[in-house]
Structure 1
Amino acid sequence: MSEALRTTHLKAWYGESQALHGMSFSVHGGEVVTLIGRNGAGKTTTLRALMGLIANRTGSIRLGADEIVAARPHQIARKGMALCPEERGIFASLNVEENLLLPPQVRPGGMSVPDILKLFPNLKERLKSQGTKLSGGEQQMLALARILRTGARLLLLDEPTEGLAPVIIAQIGDTIRTLKALGFTILLVEQNVAFAAGLADRHYVVELGRVVDEIPAAAFADRLPSLKSYLGV
């Protein structure tokens, strides 16, 4: 498959503090790729920089054939990339149905509400429930559902299993596999390396704002014990 995303020497700053020190990696169309590393390594910052949420950035971000390092978030969204943040970004005062109807379809091909409810049947029973009444797992499903409504085909998922029960983590994993089978491309930031191991085609290890290693899926099992020790998990 052709490259869906490539970053080269990506640097980013929060004010005067440099957070990324030359991130370079690629994601091919239809792949699931993870960024793994310790807390504070720069994984979430990378996703925010990719989406234009950190304005002070240099280097190169190519989304397909387009250079987007200078683009603003709404321009990047229109090119088919979307972020599901760790804080989930749902509207707590709105019910599930209203949350699903609210996201703009920025590109053709966004999932319909009926399609969303087939993918997340738990939400069908909660359509009239407010965001504040949902469990953590239901909130995560709703957050994923909202970005699928937009028509984005490259999904940036930031710690989707954080704080969730094992049974819900398994459901999130099944959803990611389904999305991959449907042709979506996924860049996943994940601290749960065992979860990531069962999903991704390739893994990039991030340290101090740069990629320090790339591990293909076939080699990940052999590297898992040392990675867990390195990550402190």
Structure 2
Amino acid sequence: MHIESAPPMLRVEGLQAWYDESHVLHGIDLEVREGETVTLLGRNGAGKSTTLKSIIGMMRRRSGSVRFEGRETIAMPSRLISRLGIGFVPEERGIYASLNVEENLLLPPRIRDSGMSVAQIFELFPNLRERLKSQGTTLSGGEQQMLAIGRILRTGAKLLLLDEPTEGLAPVIVEQIGRTIERLKREGFTIILVEQNIRFAASVADRHYIVEEGRVVDLIPNAALEANAEKLKKHLGV
């Protein structure tokens, strides 16, 4: 459980980002405390994925403040930010087609000894053990998502950025991803989740940031989602 009086693990203030000349983020403000799971909700193109990419340093041009465990990272390259303990699972999952499951899993370097062992990852995702020598091209969408999450867990990252982890997956796989996130929460991981599936988001998250046109326009506690149904419909079209 997170402690309300403790400083946030991640604090983002006035975050702006550009794709070439296109100004996408216009001052994102958010914070996440250790052990929390929060979602970024919003329509397509609202800036949710760009926010995750900016936090991990993948946007070439960004400004504002991103502090992780009190350390300013806005000027740091992505490779150094990840070594602080932030792991990013992109929407496209980033599985190397020419490598098998085992090779994909072992590819990123461990950044701290607290990373999960391969055996622990197989306990989370038994499907991966069965597909250990299968090439990335032969994996289903669900198996690729499991592999992408497992790969980050092995590194020792403690803040996980998950971009649309349930998109395009069968309901049974979505349920498995949900159980995995719940277990990771119990084990102390902190998670920021970009998600379109409101029902799924409500099943795993503590709070929800509503993103619209590159800004956070609202913050809704999970317990208040139902009471804010009209507001969600306005912002998300659901």
Q: Normalising by structure 1, what TM-score?
A: 0.97
1:116 is matched with which residue? 121
| Structure 2 equivalent of residue 140 of structure 1 | 145
Tell me which residue corresponds to 2:160: 155
Alignment partners' CA distance in 1, 2:60 and 2:113: 27
Of 36-45 and 55-64, deviating more is: 55-64
The unaligned stretches of length 5 or more in structure 2 are: none
Residue 92 of structure 1 corresponds to which residue in structure 2? 97
CA distance in 1, matches of 2:51, 2:154: 23
Alignment match, 2:23: 18
Q: How many angstroms apart in 2 are the aligned matches of 1:230 and 1:165? A: 26
Is 1:175 aligned to residue 184 of structure 2?
Answer: no
CA distance in 2, matches of 1:92, 1:107: 27
Which residue identity does 2:27 align to in structure 1? Answer: G
Q: Quick one: distance in 2 between partners of 1:227 and 1:65?
A: 32
Deviation at 1:151, TM superposition (A): 0.7
The answer on whether the counterparts of 2:210 and 2:235 sit within 8 Å (CA) in structure 1 is no
CA distance in 2, matches of 1:155, 1:95: 23
* TM-score, normalised relative to structure 2: 0.95
Cα pair 1:5 1:27 within 8 Å, conserved: yes
Q: Which residue of 1 aligns with 2:221?
A: 216
Deviation at 1:221, TM superposition (A): 2.2
1:79 aligns with 2:59: no
- Following the alignment from structure 2 to structure 1, what is the Cα–Cα distance between the partners of residues 113 and 107? 16
Of 110, 118, 131, which residue of structure 2 is paired with 1:105?
A: 110
- Residues 132-178 of structure 1 show CA distances to partners (whole Å, capped at 9, x for unaligned) of 11111111000000111111000000000000011111110000000
> Equivalent of 2:191, from 162, 186, 192?
186
Partners of 1:42 and 1:139 in 2: how far apart?
Answer: 24
Q: Which runs of 5+ in 1 are unaligned?
A: none
SS of structure 2 residue aligned to 1:49 = helix
Structure 1 residue 15, shift from structure 2 partner: 1.1
What RMSD in Å do the two structures reach over aligned CA positions?
Answer: 1.1
Deviation at 1:99, TM superposition (A): 1.0
Aligned partners of 2:212 and 2:235 also within 8 Å: no
Shift of 1:110: 1.2
| Aligned partners of 1:8 and 1:23 also within 8 Å | yes
SS at match of 2:45: coil
For residue 198 of structure 1, the aligned residue among 203, 219, 224 is: 203
Change in CA separation of 1:134 and 1:224 when aligned onto 2, cut-off 3 Å: farther
Deviation at 1:72, TM superposition (A): 0.5
Report the number of matched residues: 233
TM-fit CA distance, 1:35 = 0.3
Rounded Cα–Cα distance in structure 2 between residues aligned with 1:82 and 1:156: 6
Between the aligned partners of 1:217 and 1:39, the Cα distance in structure 2 is: 21
Residue identity over aligned pairs, in percent, reads 63
Tell me how far apart the structure 1 counterparts of residues 118 and 226 of structure 2 sit (CA, whole Å): 38
